[in-house]
Amino acid sequence: MGTLRILGIDPGLRHMGWGVIDAEGSRLRYVASGTVDPPQKGAMAQRLLALAGGLEDVIGRYGPSSAGVEETFVNEGARSALQLGQARGVCLMVLASSGLVIGEYAATVVKKSVVGTGRADKRQVQAMIRHLLPQAAPDSADAADALAVAICHASHAQTGARVQA
């Protein structure tokens, strides 16, 4: 199957977390992580453009072939959900226009893939990130969540490859 470079995305309008890992079989290796932080003031279009530009930079710098994106979890008002949906849409558009294979995962699926239970809290997820990717030093909870999405995507990609074989 070879090495698969995976980009994980935790979409957000204020902070979009990203994490890049290499997966070869069941072996995972941390590559990089961070956040894209668009300006908090200004027109929505400019904020979305900043997200797109930041994500394009990450893709250009690290060259992933595949990406996992966390699905939107609606827990707040309709306005917040709409804004998060716009940010997520920009992420999906940039990933698709870059030719990446994209997987979309609910937060519970990400947590189950990383921790073993879909009801894990952030501390448990971060502890497993440190265990699975010892070199990882995510600079924010958003970056850690993005690494979890990348690990989830790696797990699902391996399962898909075994089924196809």
Q: Classify residue 164: in a domain, yes or no.
A: no
Alpha helices in 44-140 (DSSP H): 44-62, 78-97, 107-114, 122-132
* pLDDT score for 159: 52
Can you give the pTM of this predicted structure? 0.92
Would the annotation count 70 as a binding residue?
Answer: yes
CATH number at residue 126: 3.30.420.10
Mean pLDDT of all residues in 129-151: 94
Report the domain count for the chain.
Answer: 1
Helix (H, G, I), strand (E, B) or coil at 60: helix
Mean per-residue pLDDT of the chain: 91
Give dist(CA 1, CA 24) in Å, integer: 7
Residue 56 marked as a ligand binder? no
Q: Closest Cα to residue 3, out of 42, 31, 34, 43?
A: 31
Asked if the structure places residue 165 within a domain, the reply is no
Total number of residues shown for the chain: 165
Tell me the Cα Rg of the chain.
15
Q: Is 76 annotated as a binding residue?
A: no
**Which residues are tagged catalytic?**
10, 70, 142
Range of the domain at 125: 4-159
Q: What pLDDT shows up at residue 72?
A: 75
Residue 61 lies in a domain: yes
Q: Would you say residue 13 lies in a domain?
A: yes
pLDDT digits (tens, 9 = 90+) for 40-93: 888 999 999 999 999 999 999 999 999 999 997 666 677 888 888 999 999 999
